[in-house]
Amino acid sequence: MQNVDLRKAAWRKSSYSAGDAGECIEVAPGFPDLVPVRDSKDPDGPALVFRASAWEAFVAAVREGDFPT
């Protein structure tokens, strides 16, 4: 995957985040076929960039309970 310039990304926190509990992720919409994800506690840190199809499969697996808590 090519490098993605995230300097002007409009990050938004997950609607399921626990407020200020520090257990939040943020995603940046507006990147066709890609989903940039970062840790909200480290906004200047690294971000992971997933193909949209892979991110959708991950979210579906979480919703289905495929990962133990």
Residue-wise pLDDT for 1-57, tens only, equals 668 899 999 999 877 776 666 678 899 999 999 999 999 889 899 999 999 999 999
* Total number of domains constituting the chain: 1
Decide which of 69 and 44 is more confident. Answer: 44
Query: Is residue 5 situated within a structural domain?
Result: no
The SS3 of residue 28 is coil
Q: Output the pLDDT for position 15.
A: 74
Q: Residue 35's domain spans which residues?
A: 25-69
Nearest to 50 by CA among 27, 34, 39, 66: 34
Q: To 5 degrees, how large is the angle CA 3–CA 1–CA 25?
A: 70
Query: pTM value?
Result: 0.81
Residue 63 lies in a domain: yes
66 touches 39 (CB < 8 A): no
CA 46/CA 39 separation, integer angstroms:
8
User: 58: how many CB neighbours lie within 10 A of its CB?
Assistant: 15
Q: Determine contact, residues 49/30, Cβ cutoff 8 Å.
A: no
